[in-house]
Structure 1
Amino acid sequence: MTHVQHAGLIVDGQIFGLEPGLRLLDLLGDDGAALAAAGERAAADPREIVSVEDVELCAPIPQPPSIRDSASFEAHLRAAFGGLHLPFDFDNWYQHPMVYFTNPHGLTGSGAPVPAAPGSQWLDYELEVVAVVGREGTNVDVTEAEDLIVGYCVFNDWSARDIQSHEVKFQVGPFKTKDWAMTTGPFLVTKDELEPFRKGNSFDLEMKASVNGRQYSKGNLSDMYWSFAELVAYSSRGTWVKPGDHIASGTVGTGCILELSGTENSDDYPWLAVGDEVALEVEGLGRLVNRLVEPPPIREMRGRPQQMRARRAH
């Protein structure tokens, strides 16, 4: 059977499908009129109506133009850098958001198997929310940046902590720490649906994570220090943000094993292993579920053979 990816409207656990081949990304780029019209069209004249349980959910926007992640929760930074035994310049962080690019090619949706990071034994999840950019902008003022956001998704920024402990010594990246996998979904929730929950710099939405059915993490999106509007504005400084770009919140406090193993009994929060199922849930945004599977094989680099030849030469 040929599978065709296309967008649809979610109503009470059912998907009202739009025409085959129409992507969510195709509906972005304006003030939201195209997306709203598509929703009305799907509700009035759906191409199909199927249960959410009967379809394979892709990432709402597979391979977005770019993904930027950040670190907008102070509690996470204090616990995570403590867990890595590294200092952190909070004076600078209070003045400028911490934002970095990551890999759009590693993005999959809810239900997709996630291959473990090759060579890593310290696998971790990260409980986040991502804002999706709906129209382009450059050098955007923070008072205008909210208008560029079309909606939000649950976001899992999977991490390989043993690789991270090596890469942080270069003071660049992260690179292989994180680019092996990201998952987002299960749906894009338009920002108007979250307005009743607005609180402080963000939204009063409970966030939870569980591993194999056991709850690990619990936090609230309203604890963000930097708002999504500030992250979008900062991301656009001197450059562009484009429709479909993903800009993530960073990890909520307690939202990863690195934190929990450092602040609680580490035996109660072991690193993830192949076969583990991780479920991230954010109030109003849905539940994102993925299972870790076997990693691809490691292709050795040239460093090891060179070192062996050097030892033989001595």
Structure 2
Amino acid sequence: MKLVTFTASGGEERVGALTDDDTRVVDLAAADDQPYFATMLALIETGDPAVARAKEIAAAGLVTVALDDVQLLTPVPQPPQIRDFLCFERHLINANAMLRKKRAQAEPDPEEALKRFEAEGMFAIPQIWYDQPLFYKPSRLSVIGTGVDVVRPFFSELLDYEMEFGCWLGKQGKDIDPKDATDMIFGYSIFNDISARDTQSREMPAGFGPGKGKDFDTGNIIGPCIVTADAFDPYDAEMIVRINGEERSRGNSGEMYHKFEDCIAHTSRAETVFPGEFFASGTVGWGCGLEHDKYLSDGDVIELEVTGIGVLKNKLVKQ
């Protein structure tokens, strides 16, 4: 089942389910005025009973509206928490290779410098990345959905997209065993982690996280829906990037080195995690402009597609 948050005719936020090959939306609260249909977070917190009732309503085709007549919002406008992991080794290999190349180009003999940097292990993946999942916390207060413009922050010339997806936690837990972590997952959405690469490159040497390289309004895009866990295989989905309609890259979610279960188990060590938290996968290999040395221009339309979830589509505009 695909669940959405939407507005119709500029009205209040509603929770719905996609039907008829994703062409229509069922207004769940209009069909059954239950408290758990008031918001997506309430639905997630209620869990199986709410999903079961939503499936009944969707199957009956009650209170539907055409998808073209509504505006989809990000599924959970202010998630309780967002954690963005680095789960794809190929992305790190590619990104680090590009960083070495750029550093070498600033040397008198770029070819010799590149060989030297590689021999020295410059920008090599640290062992801790293989030992455990690593994450940072994006701003949960700057989340937008599909169809909303991304506003370029005035301080960045090298703005980048990042092709990711993530899972929504559906239960509370602590010290979770990896074998029990699958049962913690409510569903999945696409994530575009917009990054100011020039700002990020200045901040990261301090060793204190990306800061303003990641945090700015419209910088976190989640959507277009939540696919419930029973309807999606998170480790066999194509992840496709298109810029202005042209395919830029294609990867597969099965390439994740750390699985979501590993991320949940690691995060919950001595820490309680809660329903509605969003755990992002990190960028799939070749899934960002940094890896291609191609950055976004104002007016570009970014489409991120994950088969089985849908397409997250946004346009970059100048502030």
TM-score using structure 2 length: 0.84
SS at match of 2:71: coil
SS at match of 1:135: coil
Q: Distance in 1 between matches of 2:70 and 2:46?
A: 29
Where does residue 70 of structure 2 map in the other structure? 55
Specify which of 25, 45, 65 is matched with residue 15 of structure 1: 25
Q: Is 1:188 matched with 2:212?
A: no
Does the aligned pair in 2 maintain the 1:125–1:158 contact within 8 Å? yes
Does the aligned pair in 1 maintain the 2:92–2:125 contact within 8 Å? no
Q: Among all aligned residue pairs of Structure 1 and Structure 2, give the percentage whose two residues are the same amino acid.
A: 39
Where does residue 226 of structure 1 map in the other structure? 258
Q: Distance in 2 between matches of 1:227 and 1:162?
A: 30
Query: Gaps spanning 5+ residues in structure 2: where?
Result: 1-8, 31-36, 101-121
Q: Which moved more, 1:246-255 or 1:84-93?
A: 84-93
Does the aligned pair in 2 maintain the 1:156–1:183 contact within 8 Å? yes
Could you tell me which amino acid in structure 2 is paired with residue 3 of structure 1?
G
SS at match of 1:104: coil
Could you tell me which amino acid in structure 2 is paired with residue 189 of structure 1?
V
State the 1:218 CA deviation.
Answer: 0.8
State the 1:3 CA deviation.
Answer: 1.5
Q: Is 1:211 matched with 2:247?
A: no
Where does residue 267 of structure 2 map in the other structure? 235
Where does residue 154 of structure 1 map in the other structure? 190
Does the aligned pair in 2 maintain the 1:32–1:134 contact within 8 Å? no
Does the aligned pair in 1 maintain the 2:160–2:290 contact within 8 Å? yes
Q: Distance in 2 between matches of 1:29 and 1:4?
A: 21
Specify which of 244, 247, 251 is matched with residue 276 of structure 2: 244
Q: Distance in 2 between matches of 1:2 and 1:94?
A: 47
Specify which of 289, 299, 311 is matched with residue 313 of structure 2: 289
Where does residue 111 of structure 2 map in the other structure? none
| 1:97-130 residue CA offsets vs partner (Å, 9 max, x unmatched) | 1111111111111001111122100010000011
Q: Distance in 1 between matches of 2:190 and 2:259?
A: 16
TM-score using structure 1 length: 0.85
Where does residue 266 of structure 1 map in the other structure? none
Q: Distance in 2 between matches of 1:88 and 1:39?
A: 48
State the 1:2 CA deviation.
Answer: 4.3
| 1:130-173 residue CA offsets vs partner (Å, 9 max, x unmatched) | 10111111111111111110010111011110011101111111
Q: Distance in 2 between matches of 1:88 and 1:137?
A: 35
State the 1:55 CA deviation.
Answer: 1.1
Q: Distance in 2 between matches of 1:88 and 1:245?
A: 31
Could you tell me which amino acid in structure 2 is paired with residue 8 of structure 1?
G
Specify which of 120, 126, 129 is matched with residue 93 of structure 1: 129
Does the aligned pair in 1 maintain the 2:165–2:281 contact within 8 Å? yes
Residues 265-284 of structure 1 mapped to structure 2, 5 A cutoff? 269=294, 271-284=295-308
Specify which of 65, 69, 85 is matched with residue 80 of structure 2: 65
Specify which of 6, 11, 15 is matched with residue 14 of structure 2: 6
Specify which of 23, 41, 44 is matched with residue 60 of structure 2: 44
Where does residue 83 of structure 1 map in the other structure? 98
State the 1:74 CA deviation.
Answer: 0.4
Could you tell me which amino acid in structure 1 is paired with residue 134 of structure 2?
M
Pair 1:55–1:31, CA change in 2 (3 A): closer
Could you tell me which amino acid in structure 2 is paired with residue 288 of structure 1?
L
Does the aligned pair in 1 maintain the 2:93–2:125 contact within 8 Å? no
| 1:204-248 residue CA offsets vs partner (Å, 9 max, x unmatched) | 111110111111111000000000111111121121211110000
SS at match of 1:28: helix
State the 1:29 CA deviation.
Answer: 2.4
Q: Distance in 2 between matches of 1:55 and 1:31?
A: 25
SS at match of 2:287: coil
| 1:247-277 residue CA offsets vs partner (Å, 9 max, x unmatched) | 000000000010012xxxxxxx3x1122111
Q: Distance in 2 between matches of 1:62 and 1:179?
A: 16
